[in-house]
Structure 1
Amino acid sequence: MLLEKQTRERNNEMLLKAVFDSEAKIEGLIKTKNVITEFVEKNEAYVFLGKKEDFSREVWNSFLDSFIPSMKRSYQLDILSFETPSYKLEDIIYDLYIKYDYIKADLFSHRKKESDENKVSLTIWNNANRCFAEVYEKAKLISSLVNFARDLQTTPPNICNSEWMAKKVEEKAKSFENVEVKVLDKKAIEKHGMNLLLSVNKGSMFEPRVVVLSYNGDSSSKERTSLIGKGITFDSGGYSLKPAKSMVGMKYDMSGAAIVSAVVFALSALGVKRNVSAVLAITDNRVNGDANLPDSVWKSMNGKSVEINNTDAEGRLVMVDAMTYAIRELKSTDLIDVATLTGAIVVALGNTYTGVWSTNDSKWEKLEKASKVAGEKIWRMPIDAEFAKGIKKSSVADLRNVDYSGLGGSNSAMMFLNEFNEGVDHIHIDIAGTANVGDSCTGVMVKTLVEYLK
């Protein structure tokens, strides 16, 4: 199926129009929401969308989710018929392109592809006498980078190891001339004292990598936002081994790193006047004869010591060394981390909302507004010293990496990260429930973070 660019001409395909409850006076129309009624003799079809005042991005996306994969014939969209006072044409067209590219993305697969002999097309009939070229170009850019992240997410761990992923991101960066790339190998990571990251990597047959992407969009400013991405290419749990069922899908544990790289590339392409970096901490978490042991104590790049009481809480370890690098080496004034960090957030928010913690109220409010524009659901979680008590009970180190009380696990994880932000404004985004839903990877938060930072 092909989504063709807009045309001002009426073609020979069946014309698909929106019809709302107040307008539904067409004889033979099926008044069931999102259902299409075709009038073959007129070469016209109508989709019933309910009340006009209720038509929104959510309703539109719901229709497209069923419509695009099930198309058996070509249509031309009477796009003007979908516009309402509260949902403008520019947004409708933008969301259509984003959704189409999301559904039809060509992601990693070794499955034999079926031949598509009966190709159908969807054409936008731009009968509004307005130009939407800029909308189209932006949608194609954002969707291509969401799908870049999704392609990395879906690549299996026997291919997507730390060294491979670092090369893929480095290669992608070459497409953006104003993005600087620095890749730290194991020796460089050791030189920086990133011992928590190295401790997680001890069980791996591949070297760790830290990929640093920098976009300098405002030379007059000393402010820099750094995005920290968790890049665990596979998480077995280490010696705190996951059950077999829980290990399936752990290839998605590198989602944060994929997502933040896509955000920096998008901001660069859009020419945003802001200085933004991404620090990707990449390794896997495996078991071998030298793997990290529970009860081990390691000194972080920050200088704080950490007792390992659960090797399956490895994400926070690699993240805090990356945070310290961003603060001390990149002079970051603002931190946003993105990680598939805790199972506890999935219990709390399921696959529907992404959990967010923010040390700054106004930045949370701005992020919440951005998420609504992007059509991604987020929920603010609490920051409270009570959640830090369990991680401060070590008798041999400054911190433990896990609070074994079993209470507020995602909040105590944030408090662990909070110990390393050095007073810099910090937003923590836990995408454990939303990075993938079953076998479907989402590239979640790319759109929201681009909207927030643009």
Structure 2
Amino acid sequence: MTLNEKKEFVYELKAVEKNHNLKGFEENTTEHVVFGGLYQKQQYLILTPDFDSNELSRSLISFLEKSPKSVSVDLNSFLSLVPESRHASLLNVVISALEYVEVTPFSLKSKIETKNIHNLVVDQKYHDLINKLHVIAQSQTITRTLQDTPANLMTPGDFEERIKELFKDLPEVKVSVLYRKDLEAKGMNAHVGVGKAAVSDKAQPRLVVVEYNNNPETNEKYAFVGKGVCFDSGGYNVKTGSHMRWMKFDMSGSAIVSMTVRALALNKEKVNVVAVCPLVLNLLAPEGQKPDDIVKSYNGKTIELDNTDAEGRLILADALTYAVRDLKASKLFDVATLTGAMIYALGDTYSGVWATNNDIWNEVVVAADYAGELVWRLPFHNDFLKMLNSNVADIANSVSDPRGGSSRAACFLKEFTEGVPYAHFDIAITADVGHKGTGVMLRTFYRIAQNQKFN
């Protein structure tokens, strides 16, 4: 992405209002559709003052990906058509779309495709904001890189090393690690149990904590907890056929929350946040845990293992308790590729969200709308929790029943939040599209944290 580049561009993109008077162009007058003909220099996008951020993002990405040449985007024309109160949201969508199409997050191909670098024509007064938004977009690209990296190059130890490298020049951020012996000493057995089949040092379970405190005027501290299963074989409930393919994406939550903190710190936002990344490999070995095993979690609840492939909720359970007890989080947000059942509930369009009260849900939906990311609220209900009753432990981690699987998982996690306001994000289907990481919810989490100072 360049700003106000002087060179001549083959294509120029401008925004026009829906009731435009342009002559000689064939167009579909649906909002956000780009028209003007593939080989015409001037391209136009219909933009209304109440634009939908997600639809605008999709349209821009689709157009820019198809463009055979670099495009100069007349951003001033976009800004002129929407109220000033929505300028930041509009810029956020455009910058994120440009970054998304311009960068290949991860590839070990011998020849990497060269991407077009696009230009923005925009008034100088917006440059500082654009630079901040570009930091967020770049952090989302790093998230996608972490997601796309294969599991043999992204063990828990590799993830730890990458995080330390990414934060080494940010002294205001504290990165700490609890290794297996530390987790065992604290009684975080639900987390450790999932990783018991690991052999090498790098494969051992660990908890990476990334903390940034820059708002002494408030006691608020938001904890973002991200599932970090660097590869999920299913354990003894082994995944079969193609279901084990693409399980490298099961650490997406940890990538998202850690890079959210990176963006906040680089932009020096006045917030108090912490990313909690429980990292494991869920493998198959004689030492691995088995169905019917019982583990005692960090908060004292005993958990019966109905299914070793319901492992994400186990590591998140201990991490959520740790965020409350040790890190003193005032609000909890977790994000996880948790349940495949989400494909039946919301497809790959929406990320599912469960919220313990309307206030925290409102924080989520306002931030997601600004970010152009789609979320849909789903229910916490005691009926789902009752299904996890166990004859021999306080709770079971799963049950062989097709009803409400995603909500059951959410209700399980809520049992480990100790009454702190909590929102759970299930991104099992939205974390990757076309087997490429999306970094979904990073922009929403950034905005949630950014709004903290107003709470």
Partners of 1:300 and 1:121 lie apart in 2 by 50
Matched position secondary structure for 1:164: helix
Partners of 1:144 and 1:48 lie apart in 2 by 25
Q: Partner residue of 1:176?
A: 170
CA 1:66–1:292: 2 relative to 1, 3 Å: same
Q: Partner residue of 2:341?
A: 344
CA 1:120–1:336: 2 relative to 1, 3 Å: closer
Matched position secondary structure for 2:153: coil
Report if aligned partners of 2:299, 2:318 keep a CA contact under 8 Å in 1.
yes
CA 1:303–1:10: 2 relative to 1, 3 Å: same
Q: Partner residue of 1:99?
A: 97
Q: Partner residue of 1:201?
A: 195
Instruction: Give the TM-score taking structure 1 as reference length.
Output: 0.91
Q: Is 1:327 matched up with 2:324?
A: yes
Report if aligned partners of 1:31, 1:48 keep a CA contact under 8 Å in 2.
no
Partners of 1:388 and 1:135 lie apart in 2 by 45
Matched position secondary structure for 1:447: helix
Show structure 2 runs of 5+ residues with no match: 451-455
Q: Partner residue of 1:148?
A: 142
- Tell me which of 103, 110, 113 is aligned to 2:111: 113
Identity of aligned residues (%): 36
Mapping of residues 23-422 of structure 1, within 5 Å: 23-27=20-24, 29-32=25-28, 33-37=33-37, 44-47=41-44, 49=46, 52=48, 55-82=51-78, 83-86=80-83, 90-114=88-112, 116=114, 121-126=117-122, 129-205=123-199, 206-392=203-389, 394-422=390-418
> What RMSD, in angstroms, separates the aligned Cα atoms of the two structures?
2.2
Q: Tell me the amino acid that sits aligned with residue 34 of structure 1.
A: V
Report if aligned partners of 2:9, 2:70 keep a CA contact under 8 Å in 1.
no
The superposition leaves residues 25-68 of structure 1 with CA deviations (integer Å, 9 ceiling, x where unpaired) of 323x122342333786xxx413253x746754344323322222
CA 1:346–1:73: 2 relative to 1, 3 Å: closer
Partners of 1:422 and 1:181 lie apart in 2 by 25
Deviation at 1:333, TM superposition (A): 2.1
Matched position secondary structure for 2:125: coil
- Tell me which of 424, 436, 449 is aligned to 2:432: 436
Partners of 2:278 and 2:330 lie apart in 1 by 19
Partners of 2:107 and 2:355 lie apart in 1 by 37
The superposition leaves residues 171-212 of structure 1 with CA deviations (integer Å, 9 ceiling, x where unpaired) of 212132211011111111111111111111111222111001
When Rg is computed on C-alpha atoms for both structures, the one with the higher figure is 1
Q: Tell me the amino acid that sits aligned with residue 342 of structure 2.
A: I
Partners of 1:46 and 1:358 lie apart in 2 by 42
Deviation at 1:94, TM superposition (A): 3.5
Q: Tell me the amino acid that sits aligned with residue 434 of structure 1.
A: T
Matched position secondary structure for 2:299: coil
Partners of 1:374 and 1:405 lie apart in 2 by 36
Show structure 1 runs of 5+ residues with no match: none
Deviates more, 1:239-248 or 1:129-138: 129-138
Partners of 1:19 and 1:220 lie apart in 2 by 44
Partners of 2:425 and 2:70 lie apart in 1 by 41
Count the aligned residue pairs. 441
Q: Tell me the amino acid that sits aligned with residue 218 of structure 1.
A: N
Partners of 1:10 and 1:241 lie apart in 2 by 56
Q: Partner residue of 1:452?
A: 448
Deviation at 1:156, TM superposition (A): 0.2
Matched position secondary structure for 1:427: strand
